[in-house]
Amino acid sequence: MNLSKLFETQKIFRNRIKYEGEDRFEKLILALMVELGECANEWRGFKFWSKNQEPRTKVQDPHAYPIVNKNPLLEEYVDGLHFILELGLEYELNDFKYAVFICDSVEKQFIYLYRATTDLFAQDRLDRSLHNYRNLIQLYFGLGEMLGFTWEEIEQAYYEKNKVNHHRQDVGY
């Protein structure tokens, strides 16, 4: 995965939005938490009460002509990646080497991602620690692997979503 190129693409999108409110950081943290929940919801594996615990990886978009197959799980994962990258830009932490952290279950991976997100939020804003951000991004990349995505799929889906966002009048994820 070309992380530098992803950060550069996200920076272009960020500059287009131009939101600099004092609450920007808090909004980014909450947006990431929402996207994590939406990704978990598409993964479905935690829904022990449901007969359908299979990940939603293929649905048809009835609004598209011709009909297009979509991967809701990958789309939600990529939506979260936008905010992961945005937080890296916020912290000016976009040039480092990373590993991939993988827990022993997808459930734990999601839970630790929530924790890493709140750890990033709770730290002193003046202490823009590489440690907390690196932990978050490495857990997120681990989640991608655990969900069965290749780096190529993730990058392609990211750039496709970015292209859609770039052309929208109503900029949004």
Mean pLDDT of 17-45: 93
Strand blocks (E) in the chain: 59-61, 68-70
For residues 173 and 164, give the distance between their C-alpha atoms in angstroms, rounded to a whole number: 9
> Taking CA 31 as the corner, what is the angle to CA 140 and CA 163, rounded to the nearest 5 degrees?
80
Say how far apart CA 152 and CA 155 lie, in whole Å: 5
At how many degrees (to 10) do helices 24-43 and 106-122 cross? 170
Amino acid (1-letter code) at residue 86: E
Residue range 67-108, pLDDT digits in tens: 778 999 999 999 999 999 999 998 777 666 778 999 999 999
For residue 110, give the nearest of 38, 48, 56 by alpha carbon: 38
**Residue 169: per-residue pLDDT:** 43
Residue 68: what pLDDT? 78
Query: Residue 168's pLDDT band (boundaries 50, 70, 90)?
Result: low
% of the chain residues with pLDDT over 90: 61
pTM of the full predicted structure? Answer: 0.89
